[in-house]
Structures are given as structure tokens and as C-alpha cells.
């Protein structure tokens, strides 16, 4: 895989700096740093070409579920390789794609009966947006004026143009404004920085009230609302107050607006349930899945929807009601085989009880962070954690962007053997669900020491 002597390793590092353009990375800074080049993984650990081992504290960008080199998933992929690596779903089908679709319908919120495959989270969202738009034009009683999409402030749904259009993080999206279609922003239930209820003893529901007012005034032009249920991940692991998701779902039904649930980050156990929607008994009209779908092994995504939506695309060939969307690797058999093995592990006896114990252990370990002078808020939903750092705790003044506070804390953690990735001034913890008690304590201990070292020096 790589040479054992220093010169071979250095050549790899030089080539990395010279040829690879990294995502979400200012390359002018990156080329000045010592790159971490991962050579192998084992469980919740990764090892670089220099032999340094790191605890994977962010699940390889929130997608790894059971750790690295999982025997059951490895075996499923090898077995599928002995059959066929890829075959298209355009005019054909495959055994793994059929079996996975059946399994997804079995475990999804009731009423979601159709599965459309794609490649990643952004494409799953693109599929949902296009389906929702086309649905209103093709159903039995068309409402072609319903063309707008409502999204929450500081929302993130991927980086393709449609996904950006229904996103709301200015830092990521501002450069592409002229390329995007307009969406309608709605207040996000971010209690720590909410002007309506941040200082109140409980959520005032001002955000959902504002959404209802928006529906009351403009529902005749709104095709769908898109949100991440329970947790706005890229916004800084912003955890919504209990009942918010259910109220949004009820409002969508009352005002005839489709609900798109983006569970790319929250699905497959991250919130303590298979899907975040389960916590409040919500069935969306469209459900977007990716990341943990294959256990973090291979790129595969799915958009699930109802018979109501699906039936609007049925008609004579000449009517052109077809959903004209597809990807070369749609329903890739290797990815589907990995996903089936992943689901087997998630549905293994005792899995959810053990996960619940780990979530409680994580909650107990996070208490120590609330006493740190530059920690404004600690947010947790399942194994999804956001630790918001502030310059002034009393006023909640954030650190300026240019201080790179999150980057510096994560660099400190990396030097101590823990891989994390920040969201600006929010330190994110999101380990594989398989993390053991000792590794959990190590992750928390390194993170705590790293925050203190950077913010209190």
C-alpha cells in the first residue's frame, strides 16, 4: 500500500499536496500543514502511513456506523464481487437492489413504499426536490402554482445546485447565489441563539408559529418544506425542541404542503432510533437517506416516498409523466450488499439496548464540559454532539471566524490521537455507534483537554 521508509512516505505527502483538491478546505493553508494520510482502519481506530493511530471521533464524516473492517460487511461485499460489481437499474434490476428496497420499506416510517436510489446525500435531496415539484403538476388535480420550497435558516442539505438552493448556510452558499433558485426561509428552532425564547424557561414555539403564518399566507405556492428532523447537523448540531417536528408535520398536512425529511446525517441510529422521525411518530412524504446506509463503506443513497407521490408519475408513455432523473451507479449492487449487511447488524438482538446505554454514558461524560468557561452550550441527541465555544459565556459572544477556534481545538485533539472536524466554533463529536466505553472516555477526555488548552491558554 505504501513504502516502509521515510522517502516513500514523504513522496506520498508531496503528491497529496500537489494533486488533491480537498473538500471544504482552504488549500493555501493545507499545503503548509503535515498531511494525515490514512493507510488502514480497525474498529473505531484509523492508522496513518507513519503508523500513528487515531480514534475516529467523527465517524469518517458522520457515515461510519459499526467501525472499520467489519467482518460481516466485508464478507457481504466480497460475496457480491463474486457475482457482479455493477449493473444498471435503467431497464434492468439486481438482486441486492430489490432486497434492500424491500428492507428499507419494512423499517421506514409507515406509508413510505417506494425507493429511488442515487449516490449520496445531496443527490437524494435533488431527487426529493424534483419529485415534489413534479408531483404537484401531475397529480389528478394539479396545483401547478406550488413551486416554492421552504427551508430552515442555517440549513444544509448538500452541495449540488438544487440542494444548495434549499440550504441556508451563507458561508457555504453565498458564492453560488446567481445559479440558484429562490427558496423561502423559516426560523430555525435554535434555542441558544433564539431571539424569541433563548431567555425563556421553555421553548415558546415562536418558530413553528412563524411557519404556520407562512403557510397561512403562501401555502398555495409552497410545494414542500425540507428539514433535518430533530438535529440540524451542519448548523452546529442544533437540536430542535421536543414536539417541533410533529407540529411541522401536522401543519404540512393541514395546509397541503409536502414534507421532505433529510435523514442523511440523522438516520441509521445516530439519534438513538433507526430514523429520527420515529421519535415523534412522523411519516414524511419523502425521506432522504445516505451516509450510514452502507455502514459508511460505499456511496449509496435512497429517497423513499409514498404511493400518493409515486402514482402521480404513472401514465401512458406519450404523456411523459416519467421521472426523468437517474445516475449511472443507481442501486449499485456492491453498495446494496453492504447496506443489507449493515441493516442486519442494526437489527441484531440487543443492538438498540446497548446503543441506549452508550448514549446515556455519553450524556454523563458531557457534564464536565458545561463547567468550562468558554463552552456556551452542549447539545446532544443520541450520539450526535455539538459543543458550542464562545468568547464570552455571559453575553454568548461567538468567536470571530478568523480566530479559527474550532480548527485549532481539533488540531490539538489530533495531536493527542483523536480525529474530529469542527463546524466553525462548534466542536462536533459523532463517533461510530460501535464505540466502546474506554474509547468513549478517551474521546471525551481528549476533547475536554483540547478545549481547555486552546481556549484558556
Q: Would you state the pLDDT for residue 6?
A: 76
Q: Which residues of the chain have pLDDT under 50?
A: 1
The CATH number of whichever domain residue 372 belongs to comes to 3.90.1150.10
d(CA 353, CA 376): 31
Q: Are residues 382 and 414 in the same domain?
A: yes
Based on the fold, state whether residues 115 and 141 are members of the same structural domain. Answer: yes
pLDDT the model gives residue 14: 95
Last residue of a domain, one of 346, 368, 395: 346
Would the pTM count as exceeding 0.75? yes
Residue 90 is assigned to a structural domain of this protein:
yes
53-56, long-range: CB < 8 A, 24+ apart = 53/417, 54/414, 54/417, 54/418, 54/419, 55/417, 55/418, 55/419, 55/431, 55/439, 55/442, 55/443, 55/446, 56/419, 56/431, 56/432
Q: Do both 342 and 357 map to the same domain?
A: no
- Claim to verify: residue 359 and residue 450 sit in the same structural domain: yes
Query: Which of residues 315, 346, 377 is at a domain's end?
Result: 346
Query: Tens digit of pLDDT for each residue in 67-98?
Result: 999 999 999 999 999 999 999 999 999 999 99
- CATH of residue 162's domain is 3.40.640.10
Domain stop point among 346, 366, 394: 346
Using the 8-state DSSP alphabet, how is residue 169 labeled?
-
Nearest to 374 by CA among 353, 347, 395: 395
Write the DSSP assignment of 33-93 as a string of letters: S----EEEEEBTEEEETTS-EEEETTHHHHT-SS-BS-HHHHHHHHHHHTT-S---SSS--
C-alpha cell at 344: 442486519
196 shares its domain with 268: yes
Same domain? 241 vs 265? yes
Output the nine-digit C-alpha cell for 381.
Answer: 441527541
- What is the predicted pLDDT for the residue at 200? 78
Q: Using CA of residue 73, residue 76, residue 81, residue 86, what is the dihedral sign? A: negative
The pLDDT of residue 3 is 53
Q: What is the pLDDT of residue 198?
A: 74
Do both 58 and 181 map to the same domain? no
Number of folded domains that form the chain? 2
* 129 and 269 both lie in a single domain: yes
Q: Are residues 187 and 78 in the same domain?
A: yes
Sign of the alpha-carbon dihedral angle for 287, 119, 147, 205: positive
- At 226 the pLDDT is 98
In a domain, 1, yes or no: no
10 assigned to some structural domain: no
**Do 290 and 392 lie in a common domain?**
no
Specify if 23 maps to a domain: no
Residue 102 and residue 143 in one domain: yes
Shared domain for 332 and 431, answered yes or no, is no
Determine the structural domain holding residue 333 and report its residue range. Answer: 74-346
In a domain, 12, yes or no: no
Q: What are the tens digits of pLDDT across the range 155-177?
A: 999 999 999 999 989 888 899 99
Amino acid at each position: 500500500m505504501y513504502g516502509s521508509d521515510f522517502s516513500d512516505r514523504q513522496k506520498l505527502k508531496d503528491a497529496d499536496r500537489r494533486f488533491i483538491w480537498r473538500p471544504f478546505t482552504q488549500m493555501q493553508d493545507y499545503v503548509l500543514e503535515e498531511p494525515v494520510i490514512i493507510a488502514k482502519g480497525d474498529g473505531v481506530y484509523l492508522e496513518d502511513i507513519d503508523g500513528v493511530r487515531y480514534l475516529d471521533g467523527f465517524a469518517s464524516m458522520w457515515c461510519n456506523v459499526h467501525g472499520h473492517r467489519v467482518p460481516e460487511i466485508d464478507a457481504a461485499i466480497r460475496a457480491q464481487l463474486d457475482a457482479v460489481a455493477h449493473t444498471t437499474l435503467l431497464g434492468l434490476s439486481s438482486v441486492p437492489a430489490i432486497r434492500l428496497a424491500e428492507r428499507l420499506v419494512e423499517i421506514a416510517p409507515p406509508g413510505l413504499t417506494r425507493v429511488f436510489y442515487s449516490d449520496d446525500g445531496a443527490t437524494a435531496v435533488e431527487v426529493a426536490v424534483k419529485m415534489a415539484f413534479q408531483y404537484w403538476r401531475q397529480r389528478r388535480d394539479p396545483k401547478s402554482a406550488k413551486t416554492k420550497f421552504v427551508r430552515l435558516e442555517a440549513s444544509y442539505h448538500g452541495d449540488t445546485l438544487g440542494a444548495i438552493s434549499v440550504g441556508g448556510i451563507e458561508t457555504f452558499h453565498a458564492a453560488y447565489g446567481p445559479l440558484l433558485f429562490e427558496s423561502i426561509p423559516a426560523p430555525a428552532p435554535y434555542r441558544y441563539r433564539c431571539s424569541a425564547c433563548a431567555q425563556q424557561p421553555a421553548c415558546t414555539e415562536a418558530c413553528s408559529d412563524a411557519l404556520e403564518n407562512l403557510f397561512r399566507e403562501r401555502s398555495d405556492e409552497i410545494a414542500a418544506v425540507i428539514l433535518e428532523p430533530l438535529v440540524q447537523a451542519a448548523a452546529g448540531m442544533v437540536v430542535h425542541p421536543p414536539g417541533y417536528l410533529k407540529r411541522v408535520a401536522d401543519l404540512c398536512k393541514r395546509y397541503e404542503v409536502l414534507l421532505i425529511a433529510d435523514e442523511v446525517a440523522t438516520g441509521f441510529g445516530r439519534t438513538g432510533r433507526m430514523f429520527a422521525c420515529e421519535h415523534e411518530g412522523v411519516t414524511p412524504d419523502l425521506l432522504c437517506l445516505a451516509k450510514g446506509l452502507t455502514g459508511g463503506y460505499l456511496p449509496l443513497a435512497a429517497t423513499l416516498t409514498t404511493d400518493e407521490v409515486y402514482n402521480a408519475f404513472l401514465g401512458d408513455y406519450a404523456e411523459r409523466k416519467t421521472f426523468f432523473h437517474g445516475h449511472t451507479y443507481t442501486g449499485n449492487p456492491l453498495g446494496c450488499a453492504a447496506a443489507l449487511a449493515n441493516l442486519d447488524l442494526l437489527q441484531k438482538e440487543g443492538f438498540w439496548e446497548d446503543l441506549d446505554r452508550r448514549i446515556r454514558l455519553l450524556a454523563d461524560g458531557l457534564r464536565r464540559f458545561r463547567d468550562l468557561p468558554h463552552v456556551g452550550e452542549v447539545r446532544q441527541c443520541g450520539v450526535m454532539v455539538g459543543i458550542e465555544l464562545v468568547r464570552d459565556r455571559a453575553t454568548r459572544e461567538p468567536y470571530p471566524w478568523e480566530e479559527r477556534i474550532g480548527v485549532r481545538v481539533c488540531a490539538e485533539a489530533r495531536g493527542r490521537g483523536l480525529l474530529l472536524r469542527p463546524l466553525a466554533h462548534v466542536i462536533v463529536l459523532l463517533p461510530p455507534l460501535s464505540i466502546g466505553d474506554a474509547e468513549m472516555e478517551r474521546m471525551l477526555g481528549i476533547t475536554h483537554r483540547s478545549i481547555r488548552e486552546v481556549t484558556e491558554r
